[in-house]
Protein backbone atom coordinates (compact mmCIF):
# COMPACT_ATOMS: atom_id res chain seq x y z
CA UNK A 1 0.00 0.00 0.00
CA UNK A 2 1.36 3.35 -0.86
CA UNK A 3 2.07 5.83 1.80
CA UNK A 4 -0.79 7.95 0.63
CA UNK A 5 -3.20 5.09 0.91
CA UNK A 6 -1.91 4.14 4.27
CA UNK A 7 -2.28 7.67 5.40
CA UNK A 8 -5.82 7.86 4.20
CA UNK A 9 -6.68 4.58 5.82
CA UNK A 10 -5.12 5.61 9.05
CA UNK A 11 -6.98 8.84 9.20
CA UNK A 12 -10.22 7.14 8.29
CA UNK A 13 -9.65 4.68 11.06
CA UNK A 14 -8.99 7.45 13.53
CA UNK A 15 -12.27 9.05 12.63
CA UNK A 16 -14.10 5.78 12.81
CA UNK A 17 -12.82 4.93 16.23
CA UNK A 18 -13.70 8.30 17.62
CA UNK A 19 -10.19 9.48 18.07
CA UNK A 20 -10.79 12.37 15.76
CA UNK A 21 -13.79 14.46 14.92
CA UNK A 22 -14.61 16.82 12.14
CA UNK A 23 -12.52 19.55 13.65
CA UNK A 24 -9.57 17.67 12.33
CA UNK A 25 -11.08 18.00 8.93
CA UNK A 26 -11.11 21.72 9.45
CA UNK A 27 -7.40 21.53 10.02
CA UNK A 28 -6.98 19.58 6.89
CA UNK A 29 -8.94 22.13 4.98
CA UNK A 30 -6.75 24.90 6.22
CA UNK A 31 -3.72 23.32 4.76
CA UNK A 32 -2.89 24.65 1.40
CA UNK A 33 0.16 25.21 -0.69
CA UNK A 34 0.97 28.37 1.15
CA UNK A 35 1.06 26.40 4.39
CA UNK A 36 1.85 22.86 3.38
CA UNK A 37 2.85 21.75 6.81
CA UNK A 38 0.05 23.23 8.70
CA UNK A 39 -1.52 20.04 9.90
CA UNK A 40 1.73 18.50 10.92
CA UNK A 41 2.72 21.64 12.76
CA UNK A 42 -0.47 21.81 14.68
CA UNK A 43 -0.42 18.14 15.46
CA UNK A 44 3.14 18.34 16.64
CA UNK A 45 2.35 21.25 18.84
CA UNK A 46 -0.55 19.38 20.30
CA UNK A 47 1.50 16.34 21.05
CA UNK A 48 4.18 18.30 22.79
CA UNK A 49 1.83 20.45 24.71
CA UNK A 50 -0.41 17.59 25.67
CA UNK A 51 2.46 15.64 27.03
CA UNK A 52 3.58 18.59 29.07
CA UNK A 53 0.15 19.09 30.52
CA UNK A 54 -0.24 15.48 31.44
CA UNK A 55 3.09 15.60 33.19
CA UNK A 56 1.97 18.63 35.17
CA UNK A 57 -1.27 16.95 36.06
CA UNK A 58 0.53 13.91 37.34
CA UNK A 59 2.72 16.10 39.49
CA UNK A 60 -0.19 18.02 40.92
CA UNK A 61 -2.17 14.93 41.68
CA UNK A 62 0.81 13.34 43.30
CA UNK A 63 0.81 15.81 46.12
CA UNK A 64 -0.76 15.00 49.44
CA UNK A 65 -2.99 18.02 49.13
CA UNK A 66 -4.25 18.50 45.65
CA UNK A 67 -4.77 21.97 44.32
CA UNK A 68 -7.83 21.24 42.30
CA UNK A 69 -7.99 24.68 40.85
CA UNK A 70 -4.66 24.29 39.23
CA UNK A 71 -5.54 20.83 38.10
CA UNK A 72 -8.70 22.17 36.62
CA UNK A 73 -6.82 24.88 34.82
CA UNK A 74 -4.54 22.39 33.16
CA UNK A 75 -7.34 20.08 32.23
CA UNK A 76 -9.15 23.02 30.80
CA UNK A 77 -6.20 23.83 28.66
CA UNK A 78 -5.86 20.30 27.44
CA UNK A 79 -9.51 20.28 26.67
CA UNK A 80 -9.11 23.43 24.62
CA UNK A 81 -6.22 22.19 22.60
CA UNK A 82 -7.67 18.75 22.03
CA UNK A 83 -10.88 20.34 20.89
CA UNK A 84 -8.95 22.53 18.53
CA UNK A 85 -7.22 19.69 16.80
CA UNK A 86 -10.23 17.47 16.79
CA UNK A 87 -8.96 15.01 19.35
CA UNK A 88 -12.40 13.87 20.33
CA UNK A 89 -11.62 11.10 22.74
CA UNK A 90 -9.09 13.12 24.64
CA UNK A 91 -11.46 16.03 24.80
CA UNK A 92 -14.26 13.95 26.20
CA UNK A 93 -11.99 12.50 28.80
CA UNK A 94 -11.03 16.01 29.77
CA UNK A 95 -14.64 16.89 30.27
CA UNK A 96 -14.97 13.98 32.65
CA UNK A 97 -11.79 15.00 34.30
CA UNK A 98 -13.12 18.46 35.02
CA UNK A 99 -16.13 17.05 36.73
CA UNK A 100 -13.93 15.22 39.16
CA UNK A 101 -12.03 18.39 39.71
CA UNK A 102 -15.22 20.22 40.54
CA UNK A 103 -16.04 17.50 43.01
CA UNK A 104 -12.54 17.68 44.34
CA UNK A 105 -12.27 13.99 44.09
CA UNK A 106 -8.66 12.97 44.07
CA UNK A 107 -9.48 9.40 43.25
CA UNK A 108 -11.70 10.39 40.43
CA UNK A 109 -9.03 12.70 39.10
CA UNK A 110 -6.34 10.10 39.31
CA UNK A 111 -8.47 7.58 37.58
CA UNK A 112 -9.40 9.97 34.84
CA UNK A 113 -5.84 11.09 34.49
CA UNK A 114 -4.95 7.57 33.62
CA UNK A 115 -7.66 7.42 31.03
CA UNK A 116 -6.46 10.68 29.57
CA UNK A 117 -2.97 9.41 29.46
CA UNK A 118 -3.97 6.26 27.68
CA UNK A 119 -6.14 8.08 25.19
CA UNK A 120 -3.58 10.72 24.61
CA UNK A 121 -0.76 8.36 23.94
CA UNK A 122 -2.90 6.30 21.68
CA UNK A 123 -3.69 9.38 19.70
CA UNK A 124 -0.17 10.57 19.77
CA UNK A 125 1.08 7.30 18.40
CA UNK A 126 -1.30 7.50 15.52
CA UNK A 127 -0.46 11.11 14.92
CA UNK A 128 3.19 10.22 14.73
CA UNK A 129 2.47 7.52 12.23
CA UNK A 130 0.35 9.96 10.30
CA UNK A 131 3.10 12.50 10.20
CA UNK A 132 5.54 9.94 9.03
CA UNK A 133 3.26 8.80 6.32
CA UNK A 134 2.72 12.38 5.32
CA UNK A 135 6.39 12.95 5.04
CA UNK A 136 6.62 9.94 2.86
CA UNK A 137 3.80 11.16 0.73
CA UNK A 138 5.54 14.44 0.34
CA UNK A 139 8.64 12.70 -0.78
CA UNK A 140 10.59 12.53 2.39
CA UNK A 141 12.02 9.34 3.71
CA UNK A 142 10.28 8.05 6.78
CA UNK A 143 11.87 8.98 10.07
CA UNK A 144 12.82 6.21 12.39
Partner 1 sequence: MTVEEVKLQAAKANGGHGAKDQFPIGMRVLAVDDDPTCLKLLEKLLQHCQYHVTTTGQAATALKLLREKKDQFDLVISDVHMPDMDGFKLLELVGLEMDLPVIMLSANGETQTVMKGITHGACDYLLKPVRIEQLRTIWQHVVRRRSCDARNNGNDNDDSSKKLQVASAEGDNGGGNRNKRTSRRVRDDNGDDGDDSDENSNENGDSSTQKKPRVVWSVELHRKFVASVNQLGIDKAVPKKILDLMNVENITRENVASHLQKYRLYLKRLSVDASRQANLTAAFGGRNPAYVNMGLDAFRQYNAYGRYRPVPTTNHSQPNNLLARMNSPAFGMHGLLPSQPLQIGHTQNNLSTSLGNVGGVNNGNLIRGAHMPLQDTSKCFPTGPSGPFNSFVGESPQFPDLGRCNTTWSTAVSSSNVQELGQKDRIVNGPKLEPLSSFTEASSQIPLLGNEMQSQVASLASNGLPMPFTQEAVPFAYGSSTNSREMLNNNLALSNSGINSSLPNLHIDGSVFERNIDGSVVTRQTLDGSNSGGGGVPPLQDGRIDHQAVNSHLNYNNELMGTSRLQRGLSGGLDDIVVDMFKLDHADNGVPFIDGDWELV
Binding-site ranges for partner 1 (CB under 8 A): 23, 26-27, 30, 32-35, 38, 41-42, 45-46, 48-49, 73, 76-77, 79-81, 83-86
State the nearest-atom distance from the C-beta of 78 to partner 1, in Å: 9
Residue whose CB is less far from partner 1, 11 or 50: 50
Residue whose CB is less far from partner 1, 48 or 59: 48
State the nearest-atom distance from the C-beta of 80 to partner 1, in Å: 4
Helix, strand, coil tally for the chain in percent (to 5): 80, 5, 20
Residue whose CB is less far from partner 1, 3 or 99: 99
Give CA separation, 136 vs 6, 7, 27, 61, 131, in Å. 10, 10, 20, 40, 9
Instruction: Look at the chain and count its residues.
Output: 144
Q: How many CA atoms lie within 13 A of 117 on its CB side?
A: 12
State the nearest-atom distance from the C-beta of 50 to partner 1, in Å: 8
Amino acid sequence: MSAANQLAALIANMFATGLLDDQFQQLQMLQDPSAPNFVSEVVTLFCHDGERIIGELAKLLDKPTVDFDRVDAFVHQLKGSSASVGALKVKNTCIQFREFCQQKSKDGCLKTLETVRINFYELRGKFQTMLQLERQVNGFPPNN
